[in-house]
Structure 1
Amino acid sequence: MALEMRDRCERCETVLSHASSARICSYECTFCVSRSDAMQDTCPNCSGELVTRPCRAPAPAAE
């Protein structure tokens, strides 16, 4: 099962591209780094740890 790469911070709606730095919890709640820092890397939804989201390369262009 692939990781869901959400495109916005759940707190401030900052746009997050697949290459943007972001943090996620084990339920894939997604936050920008500044909001995560402000929340002391704790998810407000599940109280789980927020960790660095892996980057995903863009999909190859179709020919």
Structure 2
Amino acid sequence: MTTMAPAYPHAWWERARLELVDYEIAAARASLGAMLEITRDPRLRRRVTETLDALPAT
């Protein structure tokens, strides 16, 4: 979905969620970072930032 609709933030969220399930922390960080680049919604940005802060360092 992120390839076909890269401006759709929820696809990036789902991608990051799946990457976390597979313990791909660096990939999840990258997906969440991409999400921050495309969204201007303050609530969504706060949620992404809080999630990034909660992830373990890679």
TM-score (ref. length: structure 1): 0.32
TM-score (ref. length: structure 2): 0.33
Q: Which has the higher helix share?
A: 2
Q: Which has the larger radius of gyration?
A: 1
